[in-house]
Amino acid sequence: MTTAGAGAAGRVPDNTPLDLYGRPAWHRVAAGYVGWGACGLAVALIAAPLASVLWGVIGRAVPVWRWSVLTEAGNGQGGGLANEIVGTLFILAGVSVLAGSVGVLSGIYLSEYARGRTGAVLRGASEVLAGIPSIVLGYVGYIALVIALHWQYSLAAALITLSALTVPYIAKSTEAALRQVPTTYREGAEALGMSPLRSLRRITLKAALPGITTGWLVAMAISVGETAPLLYTAGFSDSLPSLSLTHSPVGYLPYVVWTFYNYPAKAFQSLSYDAALILVVMVLVLIVLARIVVAFTQRHTERN
């Protein structure tokens, strides 16, 4: 397109499409407006359901909110959510230890040790496992752990089932974080006489820690709200969870949302809304924490 005309020169920076004579090509200008307008509409179509979901939860829960739901356990008339909150925290702690350790170790293997085909196959298996529907995991957990191993509804069955779902996330983010650590760090550690294990622990893992933490937080955000893997592994209980790993069902927040929302009694419906609000707050806190870790590291690492 020629823009050599004296009048056209001033229009070059704004990148208006021109025809062969240097005049604005209005149909192409219009196509741009229509196209970007449609894209703007797409963003609105993402923002609107998000706002509606958040408002739907807050608008339902806040009018019926009472602080005693945090301290009272559930009972036949409604009660509170203390047992479910403690149960969710128990499950979260268990998953963060179990899936956290397996996932981080697995990520270390995939990044530092695995070579060629083995790595590709194991990585593929992990990615595919993340795509297995959560209800399928829950069903297998029920058949294998609750029935075949006679654990009954229990914390251990819930933890193992939920960990199968979260390990891939942690493994993937750990591997990605370790791969971003420059090779020169490892070489420098070796040149200074560090043993391989010490170098892995003190140099490589330390440099990758923010990335690993972010992935771990995201995995926790996912496990907070998972329901399908827990329904038939954790069972449900109205009392505070006991510390025994097997033969003792555990209550957790998503169950309340799923079961109580269409009970006829208002007390149960309110509990369902409260549980949804607590879940959303927990997820938001975890996401914000992950963002803070990312922002903090970006400020404290030098760009090269």
Partner 1 sequence: MTLTTADQVPPADPLPATRAALASHGRTGFMQEKLPRLVTSLAAFVPMAALLAIVGVLAWKALPALGYNGIGFLWHTAWRPGNAYANPVRTGGVLHPVGASYGALPLVAGTLESSVIAVAVAVPVSVGAALLVVEKLPRRLSSTVGLFLEVLAGIPSVVFGLWGALTFGPFIARDVAPFVAGHMPDVPVLNFFRGNVGYGEGLLTSGLVLAVMIIPIVAATARDLLRQVPRLPKEGALALGMSDWEVARKVSLPWARAGIIGASVLGLARALGETMAVAMVSGAVLGTVPTNLYLPMSTIAATIVSQLDGAFTDGTGYAVRTLAEFALLLAVITLLTNIAARVLVRRVAGTALPIGRGV
Query: Contact at 8 Å (CB) between 59 and 270?
Result: no
188 belongs to the binding site for partner 1 (CB under 8 A): no
Task: Tell me the closest approach of the beta carbon of residue 24 to partner 1, in angstroms.
Answer: 10
CA distance 233 to 229: 7
User: Considering only residues 112, 242, 245, 297, which one is a binding residue for partner 1 as defined by CB under 8 A?
Assistant: 112
Site for partner 1 in 235-274 (CB under 8 A): 254, 257-258, 261-262, 272-273
CA distance 222 to 255: 15
- Quick one: CA dihedral 277, 279, 280, 281, positive or negative? positive
Task: Tell me the closest approach of the beta carbon of residue 244 to partner 1, in angstroms.
Answer: 23
In what helix (H) or strand (E) does residue 74 lie, and over which residues does it extend? strand 74-75
Task: Classify residue 8 by its DSSP letter.
Answer: T
Query: Contact at 8 Å (CB) between 180 and 268?
Result: no
Task: Tell me the closest approach of the beta carbon of residue 91 to partner 1, in angstroms.
Answer: 13
The CA distances from residue 225 to 34, 97, 268, in Å, are 39, 18, 19
User: Considering only residues 58, 73, 89, 105, which one is a binding residue for partner 1 as defined by CB under 8 A?
Assistant: 105
Task: Tell me the closest approach of the beta carbon of residue 29 to partner 1, in angstroms.
Answer: 7
User: Considering only residues 64, 73, 86, 114, which one is a binding residue for partner 1 as defined by CB under 8 A?
Assistant: 114
> Which range of residues in 64-72, 150-158, 243-251, 277-285 is near partner 1 by CB under 8 A?
277-285
User: Considering only residues 227, 237, 248, 270, which one is a binding residue for partner 1 as defined by CB under 8 A?
Assistant: 227
Task: Tell me the closest approach of the beta carbon of residue 70 to partner 1, in angstroms.
Answer: 19
User: Considering only residues 157, 158, 218, 271, which one is a binding residue for partner 1 as defined by CB under 8 A?
Assistant: 218
Phi, psi of 234, deg, nearest 5 = -85, -25
Q: Which is nearer to partner 1, 9 or 244 (CB)?
A: 9
Q: Which is nearer to partner 1, 5 or 32 (CB)?
A: 32
Site for partner 1 in 5-24 (CB under 8 A): 15-18
As a whole number of Å, the end-to-end CA separation of the chain is: 38
Site for partner 1 in 24-83 (CB under 8 A): 28-29, 31-32, 35-36, 38-43, 45-47, 49-50, 52-54, 56-57, 60
Query: Contact at 8 Å (CB) between 173 and 269?
Result: no
What radius of gyration do the chain's Cα atoms show?
26
**Cβ neighbours around 190 below 10 Å, total:** 13
